[in-house]
Structure 1
Amino acid sequence: MNTSAGATTDGIVAVGLRKSYGDKTVLDGVDLHIPQGTVFSLLGPNGAGKTTTVQILSTLIPADGGEARVAGHLVDREADAVRSAIGVTGQFSAVDNLLTAAENMMLVADLLHLPKDEGRRRTADLLARFDLTDVADKPASTFSGGMRRKLDLAMTLVGRPSVIFLDEPTTGLDPASRRNLWDIIQDLVSDGVTIFLTTQYLEEADHLADRIALLDGGRIVAEGTPDELKRRIPGGHIRLRFADQYRFENASRVLAEAVRDEESLILQIASDGSIPALRGLLGRLEDAGIDAEELTVHTPDLDDVFLALTGRRKAGPADEAAHSKKAAKEFTR
């Protein structure tokens, strides 16, 4: 991978990232290539190295080896430029409960040394964008979890970052608030922002991510679009239900490899659910003059992918966080 090309077309590029703590290797040669204006999700079991990866890319901690560019800037040599180009939002809100929504926003503008007029303009624009104008003058302590998370993300955008790291941004939110935040994230990507997402909700990665990488044991063990990853795992199948016994028996002879459910008049055929596979199956039935009453495609989900590749059922919050609190003190939003 050529990192020198990352300055104009890539949001994030990393080659051979390595990091160890004592005799424990956390990252063991991680490569990433994340195009600008896309959502990339990093999944992995506890201790896989997800939080460490975010910390390195956001300049919180140095890598032991390898190279990374974020928004076209070398992380180890141009840390200030990287910090000016990124936003970081974690699962724990940075909102000050004693301040109003507008005051929280203006505080960030002041920390970024924006002129007062510009800070007020960006604050008003972002509060409107996040549907928080009506509560602009209310203390954040009165906000629901979803409103606080929206405010937290709005604060991240005051500096107009081109790359945003979202570390489990919807943890603890109710389904409606989570969906609302998903819409906001998709709007940001439409504006050209690059999103680096870690999440414990596999359906969230499936819904949002253009590409997903699975990190285990400090290495990327699989990467691709959600559909590509799911097609790698056996267990997908097509179910055909027939209107009567006659059609069911005829189809059984044509599709001899199918698993029969005589009571429900259903045949189940192993398949990746792809368009070519569907065409081939339906073509075989059509050649025999047989119509199916109902067809459903069942493909493995990301939970199946996660289980197959890591031996664990579900990704949880990263537990490298022991290093996060110390590192976070070094970073000014």
Structure 2
Amino acid sequence: MSVEPTLAHSDSRTGGVLVEGIEKSFGEVRALRGVDFTAAPGEVLGILGPNGAGKTTMVNILSTLISPDRGRAVVAGHDVVADPAAVRKRIMLTGQYAALDDMLSGYENLVMFGRLMGLRKPAAQARARELITEFALEHAANRRVGTYSGGMRRRIDIACGLVVRPDVVFLDEPTTGLDPRSRQGVWDLVRSFKNAGITTLLTTQYLEEADALSDQIIVIDHGVVIASGTADELKHRTGGSYCEIVPLDLEGLPAIVSALGSLLPAENLAALTPESDRITIPAPDGAKTLAEALRRLDNASVELVDIALRRPSLDDVFLQLTGHLASTETQPEPVA
């Protein structure tokens, strides 16, 4: 599925998001502890964090569903506390679960949203027909949404948010539970938002999703922003490129250690255990380091299953920053 909705470019200078010192508690649970970040107009900001980190709480504040205890947030030029109605007119919010009326058809849901957004009935109907076509849902336009697949529900949900062009889009883990094809369709949508100059805040636990789509990334853990930057900048924090060497015979590890010599730092050597099935060495010179390691191993007649030059992934970054993998379950965020 490839969906490219028709969205006119905006020349507004206030289409971004500004967050300063936002705090939010639920009883004794401090969900957010002084969060600061910005998202420029037309930028895709990835918000990473495990369950319970504060991602959804932050989105709920920015979309005016709940109020912060302290701090300031401005969305599309309007303060979320002082002028929530103006904020709601300029945003689109899509969560993990599509907010649709299952008893209505896809077309009827779109018309209903158009009417709620202030469109006259003929305009709402015309816009609904346009979106049905753009989201490739003609075959299911008159079916009840309750019969839709997960991917179809997500498409019609996002389409409802585009009945009137938003300045800022909040996608709260939008690909959770989707099959790969539907997930790619959401990725295409995010790219189309960027091309249209729409600011997108994307919360996700899929690190490759943030890597592929985000201009900037913030990492939230226990209600605090613990890192920010581009994907490449965050990866650089874990070190540069490295070589991964997998021997044909695990008993060959000592021979590899001997052959590599000075290419294998003491800390990498110390990390090896009896269960290790590969050796990792830093590759400060990239392909030259790989070539030198291969030459030494060849001279020592060491047989390999694989040797490769790799770069740190966002998974590596996340693990280093938070001490656990992105998929690790923690306590769910409180519900306001």
| Range class of TM-score, shorter chain | 0.7 to 0.9
Corresponding letter in the other structure for 1:298? R
Matched ranges for 1:124-273 at <5 A: 124-234=129-239, 236-238=241-243, 269-271=281-283
- 3-state SS, counterpart of residue 13 of structure 2: helix
| Structure 1 contact 200–317 (Cα < 8 Å) conserved | no
In structure 2, what is the Cα distance between the partners aligned to 1:317 and 1:113?
Answer: 41
| 1:57 Cα deviation from its structure 2 partner | 0.6
Structure 2 residue 105 is the aligned partner of structure 1 residue 66: no
Structure 2 residue 324 is the aligned partner of structure 1 residue 312: yes
Matched ranges for 1:27-38 at <5 A: 27-38=32-43
In structure 2, what is the Cα distance between the partners aligned to 1:240 and 1:42?
Answer: 33
- 3-state SS, counterpart of residue 119 of structure 1: helix
| 1:300 Cα deviation from its structure 2 partner | 2.3
| 1:295 Cα deviation from its structure 2 partner | 8.1
TM-score normalized with structure 1 length:
0.79
TM-score normalized with structure 2 length:
0.78
Q: What residue ranges of structure 2 are gaps of 5+ in the alignment?
A: 1-11, 247-255, 270-277, 294-305
| 1:131 Cα deviation from its structure 2 partner | 1.1
In structure 1, what is the Cα distance between the partners aligned to 2:325 and 2:262?
Answer: 37
| 1:38 Cα deviation from its structure 2 partner | 1.7
* 1:307-332 Cα distance to aligned partner (Å, 9 max, x none): 21112212459822522xxxxxxxxx
In structure 2, what is the Cα distance between the partners aligned to 1:121 and 1:212?
Answer: 37
Matched ranges for 1:275-314 at <5 A: 277-278=285-286, 296-314=308-326
In structure 2, what is the Cα distance between the partners aligned to 1:183 and 1:304?
Answer: 26
In structure 1, what is the Cα distance between the partners aligned to 2:324 and 2:262?
Answer: 39
Structure 1 residue aligned with 2:3: none
Q: What residue ranges of structure 1 are gaps of 5+ in the alignment?
A: 1-6, 242-247, 261-265, 286-293, 324-333
Moved more, 38-47 or 163-172: 38-47
Structure 2 residue 121 is the aligned partner of structure 1 residue 116: yes
* 1:244-302 Cα distance to aligned partner (Å, 9 max, x none): xxxx9xx9689686989xxxxx996414xxxx8438759999xxxxxxxx984312222
* 1:59-108 Cα distance to aligned partner (Å, 9 max, x none): 11111111111011111111111000001111111122211111010011
In structure 1, what is the Cα distance between the partners aligned to 2:48 and 2:279?
Answer: 35
Structure 1 residue aligned with 2:83: 78
- 3-state SS, counterpart of residue 158 of structure 1: coil
Corresponding letter in the other structure for 2:86? A
| Structure 1 contact 14–32 (Cα < 8 Å) conserved | yes
Residues matched between the structures, number: 302
In structure 2, what is the Cα distance between the partners aligned to 1:279 and 1:236?
Answer: 9
Moved over 3 A (4+): 238-241, 251-260, 266-269, 276-285, 315-318
Structure 1 residue aligned with 2:249: none
Summarize the Cα distance change of 1:96–1:321 in structure 2 as closer, same or farther, 3 Å threshold.
farther
| Structure 2 contact 26–334 (Cα < 8 Å) conserved | no
| Structure 1 contact 27–217 (Cα < 8 Å) conserved | yes
Corresponding letter in the other structure for 1:201? Y
Structure 1 residue aligned with 2:19: 14
In structure 1, what is the Cα distance between the partners aligned to 2:290 and 2:51?
Answer: 43
Summarize the Cα distance change of 1:299–1:82 in structure 2 as closer, same or farther, 3 Å threshold.
same
| Structure 2 contact 241–286 (Cα < 8 Å) conserved | no
- 3-state SS, counterpart of residue 97 of structure 2: coil
| 1:141 Cα deviation from its structure 2 partner | 2.4
Moved more, 226-235 or 300-309: 226-235
Structure 2 residue aligned with 1:322: 335
| 1:117 Cα deviation from its structure 2 partner | 2.1
In structure 2, what is the Cα distance between the partners aligned to 1:311 and 1:128?
Answer: 45
Corresponding letter in the other structure for 1:319? P
| Structure 1 contact 14–33 (Cα < 8 Å) conserved | yes
| 1:157 Cα deviation from its structure 2 partner | 0.8
| Structure 1 contact 231–299 (Cα < 8 Å) conserved | no
- 3-state SS, counterpart of residue 91 of structure 1: coil
Summarize the Cα distance change of 1:21–1:123 in structure 2 as closer, same or farther, 3 Å threshold.
same
